[in-house]
Amino acid sequence: MHDLVIRGGLVVDGTGAVPRQADVAVDGGRITSVGEVSEPGRREVDAAGMLVTPGFVDIHTHYDGQVTWDALLTPSSLHGVTTVVMGNCGVGFAPVKPEQRDWLISLMEGVEDIPGSVLAEGMTWNWESFPDYLDAIDTPHAIDFAAQLPHGALRTYVMGERGGDHLVRPTNDEIDRMRDLVAEAVEAGALGWSTSRTAVHKTSDGEPTPSLTASREELIGLARGLAKAGAGVVDFISDFMEEPAEMTLVSEIVEAAQRPMSVSIVQSDRAPDKWRELLDGLAEVSAQQDIPITSQIAPRAVGIMLGWELSWHPFMAHPSYSALADLPREERVKQLRRPEVKAALLADRPVTDSDFVSRLSTQFEHVYLLGDPPNYEPGPGDSVAALAERCGVSAVEVAYDAMMAQDGRALLYFPMLNYAGGNLDAVREMLARPDTVPALGDGGAHCGAICDASFPTTLLTHWGRDHRNSESLFPVEWLIKRHTVDTAAVVGLLDRGQVRPGYRADLNVIDFDRLQADHPEVLYDLPTGGRRLMQTATGYVATVVAGEVVFEEGQHTGALPGRLVRGAKTAPEPAVS
């Protein structure tokens, strides 16, 4: 008798091979047979008419704090994800000295929009070194999780208050210390180290992230930490403002590390074609160094959600809104229903020094009704401006009324990145390249603005089934490979991502016809009653981790087989026939 048998499903095995009808048997947390399984299972799942896939591997999340209080790691686990990697963008919480905790919270709050009060209350801080942190979080969870060493925390740990000063460079001894701590972290189980060189990343006080202006010598020093450990990957994000020099720096980092790198790439409205140049440049560096460099890309636009309960909406800079901003939600909605309040807000004009806030308040041709189910590739006719023109009313009134739907909980959608052409054509081109993987969902972060942990679901539904141009669809087996085998390989987790004997029994049973990302909602379930955007999904019949069913139709079963993944994993030996 097997521990688990999934019967009669269409197995999409993660390799890109043509799907085939088969049973899947599981024993001891590993897949033991794929084919016709005659023996019974202690637990059986009827997968007739369903897809049976590997669990998704999400390599770009920010659960560094949430992992200490949330055993389920939602919303990622609700979207078929069975392994998450955190510690991206150079932010995290170890190593840390007691006097540095508040500063690291400020950095995470500013960069990733996770409320500081939530982090301060939710975390136990029973660690100092990075190995201590790994030990502290190594507790049962619903899914597996892995960590990277964040540059911001490392720099301030070694340099103290000087670490946040962009005019100060570390001494040679401090660079050597950082190198040794990188090696120590990787030897303890970190998958690598991450850094950020984008001006977008700031502390909650508006100060740039400390790694923004890190010198070549410092970055080379950290890279040598990976070389010393003989393992790990570099996670890199940059504005590439000085592109030739920055591309040279990338080359020098991977040469010093002799380890792979992943780089975050998105399309910006300001330079809508630059992403191609960057991908080509990274491919050239990879070929020259003979070291893999893979770009993390998003499978849809990176979109801001706008609503009365969220961090952003079109009326936030209107002077007459200031009296409502701090009211409890119910009272605020009650006031917003009053005709005189609505009239005052519609007559107002935004007062702001922020170009971004001004765009949200005035450029309604780029703000869309999200819809239910969400429409992540809206056309020009779906914009607030177009709807206003058809109805013969002002765009601000359409926006106001739209957000008042669902008892004041309805959302608008502002695609911020990857939507320069008003479509996802650039995203499709990015996805099709062999040197990219789908990522950047930021699970656990951007609690009041972005809900992109549903990327795995969109990848399958939009690009495998729903795209309005059938010629733009990809084969489902190829899409599954992209978020399983390919993502796992980027961070060296070669023991998962395939439905084959010997591999970890991390699996999804999916009703593909029903599969859908649900409309996001606002919850107040974080420590201290903190707010976050939550997005569930329909169509995940079962999600299995290490051979145990952890979710059925989106509901947690109570099982917590997930564990901290320490370090890279080798592929299982081929089964002997």
Question: Distance between CA atoms of 354 and 183, rounded to whole angstroms?
Answer: 42
Question: Distance between CA atoms of 467 and 476, rounded to whole angstroms?
Answer: 13
Amino acid 534: pLDDT: 97
Mode of pairing for the β-strands spanning 192-197 and 149-150: parallel
As a whole number, mean pLDDT of residues 156-185 equals 94
Question: Which spans in 298-347 are helix H?
Answer: 329-336, 339-347
| Amino acid residing at 323 | A
For residue 562, list its beta bridge partners: 141
pLDDT at 43 over 60: yes
H or E segment at 249?
Answer: helix 243-257
Region of 565 on the Ramachandran plot (φ > 0 left; ψ -120 to 50 alpha; else beta) = beta
List, for residues 45-94, the tens digit of each pLDDT value: 999 999 999 999 999 999 999 999 999 999 999 999 999 999 999 999 99
Question: Distance between CA atoms of 250 and 262, rounded to whole angstroms?
Answer: 10
Structure tokens at 82: 């069975």
Q: 542 phi and psi, to 5 degrees?
A: -155, 140
pTM as predicted = 0.96
Structure tokens at 323: 């009296």
Question: Distance between CA atoms of 309 and 183, rounded to whole angstroms?
Answer: 43
Region of 115 on the Ramachandran plot (φ > 0 left; ψ -120 to 50 alpha; else beta) = beta
Which percentage of the chain shows pLDDT scores above 90? 95
- In a 3-state reduction of DSSP, which class is residue 400? helix
- In a 3-state reduction of DSSP, which class is residue 121? helix
Quote the Cα angle for 396-401-402, to 5°.
95
List, for residues 265-295, the tens digit of each pLDDT value: 999 999 999 999 999 999 999 999 999 999 9
Question: Distance between CA atoms of 143 and 563, rounded to whole angstroms?
Answer: 7
Question: Distance between CA atoms of 148 and 128, rounded to whole angstroms?
Answer: 15
Residue 326's CB is within 10 A of a number of other CB atoms, namely: 7
Amino acid 458: pLDDT: 97
| Amino acid residing at 215 | S
Query: Domain coordinates of the chain in residue numbers?
Result: 57-301+420-490, 304-417
For the CA atoms of 71, 74, 76, 79, the dihedral, rounded to the nearest 10 degrees, stands at 110
As a whole number, mean pLDDT of residues 546-554 equals 98
Question: Distance between CA atoms of 449 and 452, rounded to whole angstroms?
Answer: 10
As a whole number, mean pLDDT of residues 496-525 equals 97
pLDDT at 577 over 50: no
Residue 74's CB is within 10 A of a number of other CB atoms, namely: 26
CATH code, residues 57-301+420-490:
3.20.20.140
Residues 6+ apart with CB under 8 A from 376: 300, 301, 303, 413, 424, 458, 462
Q: How many CA atoms lie within 13 A of 467 on its CB side?
A: 21
Amino acid 147: pLDDT: 98
Quote the Cα angle for 483-427-64, to 5°.
50
Q: How far is CA 32 from the centre of its chain?
A: 31
Helices and strands (H, E) in the chain, number of each type = 17, 25
- Sequence length of the chain is 577
List, for residues 386-435, the tens digit of each pLDDT value: 999 999 999 999 999 999 999 999 999 999 999 999 999 999 999 999 99
Region of 562 on the Ramachandran plot (φ > 0 left; ψ -120 to 50 alpha; else beta) = beta
| N- to C-terminal Cα separation, the chain | 20
pLDDT at 576 over 50: no
Amino acid 575: pLDDT: 56
As a whole number, mean pLDDT of residues 351-360 equals 92
pLDDT band at residue 166 using 50, 70 and 90 as cut-offs: confident
